[in-house]
Amino acid sequence: MSFYSLGGTSSANFYVRQRGGGKPVLFIHGYPFDSSMWEPLFPFFPDSYRLIAPDLRGLGKSPLPQNTGLTNASISTMEMFADDMAALLDAMDVKEPVTFCGLSMGGYIAMHFAAKYPDRLSALILCGTKTAADLPNAAENRRKQAAGLRAGTMTLGNVADAMLPKLLSPATQSGNLPVVNAVRSMIESNNPQGAAAATLGMAQRTDTTEVLRQLNVPVAAIGGRDDLFVPPGEMQTLADTAKCGTFTEIADAGHLPPVEQPQQFAKAVTVLLGKVTG
């Protein structure tokens, strides 16, 4: 675990969790989480893979960049996040194409990365995510949340209260209190300004369905059976849209299979990795 400085015009510093030293696999967390959500997976991978899990700008331990004119009204767009990841890979001297795994907002970022940096992608893993842009009411709800976080009329504790009943499966909520508490802690410990910038970025993202349709790399869509945000049928549709797509459903998991069922999620990922490196 260490910080990497991107330098250049962003002067961004990124906190990165990593393990192993082989083929690179980039794990990008969702909103409003951080890279700790991927740690339960790491023991289930051999050291022949280099597992890379950064905190996105303004979230976790990665601060918002300070010298780019960012203000209280700043937005972290999905393309900006994708550019950050390309620059981070450069800073980490990762030259070969990566398997990009994105959950929820991380999936939105993955699609923008695929659109802009297709030569840097060897495979794509999408979990609990969509290629469609927000509908107007969903985008407006994000803008209201961002305004509340910035004004201090809403806290990330409030966000956790609203999200947790829908984030996790009934099995997790009733039988795995440590996971419930860990997810709450992830949400509440984030920077409200970074969270607001990210949710505004999600609100203005563009549709990337055609990007997925044109990709020439293996794509794995993974969904929790009890996901209320992105039901399994929607993840199956993503798999069907891709030229070389597969769908895996994870039982006893909601929107966060890597946290709720890490061994099963890791197994689904390694199946895809076998197609890339086998």
The mean pLDDT value of the chain amounts to: 94
Integer Cα distance of 216 and 148 in angstroms = 41
* Domains of the chain and CATH, by start: 2-277 (3.40.50.1820)
CB atoms closer than 10 angstroms to residue 144: 13
269 within 8 A of 114, measured Cβ to Cβ:
no
Angle among Cα 21, 25, 27 to the nearest 5 degrees reads: 125
At a CB cut-off of 8 Å and minimum separation 6, what does 46 contact? 20, 22
User: In the predicted model, is pLDDT for residue 70 greater than 50?
Assistant: no
Which of 50, 41, 27, 108 lies closest to 258 in space, CA to CA?
41
Res. 54 pLDDT band, cuts 50 70 90: very high
Which of 263, 265, 202, 190 lies closest to 229 in space, CA to CA?
202
How high is the pLDDT of residue 248? 98
Integer Cα distance of 120 and 127 in angstroms = 20
Query: For 195-240, what is each residue's pLDDT tens digit?
Result: 999 999 999 999 999 999 999 999 999 999 999 999 999 999 999 9
Q: What is the mean pLDDT of residues 68-85?
A: 79
How high is the pLDDT of residue 16? 97
How high is the pLDDT of residue 7? 66
How high is the pLDDT of residue 74? 86
How high is the pLDDT of residue 11? 55
How many percent of the chain have pLDDT more than 90? Answer: 90
What pTM was computed for the model? 0.95
93 within 8 A of 86, measured Cβ to Cβ:
no
> How many Cα atoms within 13 Å fall on the side-chain side of residue 206?
10
How high is the pLDDT of residue 9? 46
123 within 8 A of 216, measured Cβ to Cβ:
no
Angle among Cα 5, 7, 10 to the nearest 5 degrees reads: 105
User: In the predicted model, is pLDDT for residue 73 greater than 60?
Assistant: no
How high is the pLDDT of residue 68? 46
Q: What is the mean pLDDT of residues 81-88?
A: 96
How high is the pLDDT of residue 277? 57
Integer Cα distance of 185 and 58 in angstroms = 16
Query: For 3-49, what is each residue's pLDDT tens digit?
Result: 998 865 445 789 999 999 999 999 999 999 999 999 999 999 999 99
Q: What is the mean pLDDT of residues 236-255?
A: 98
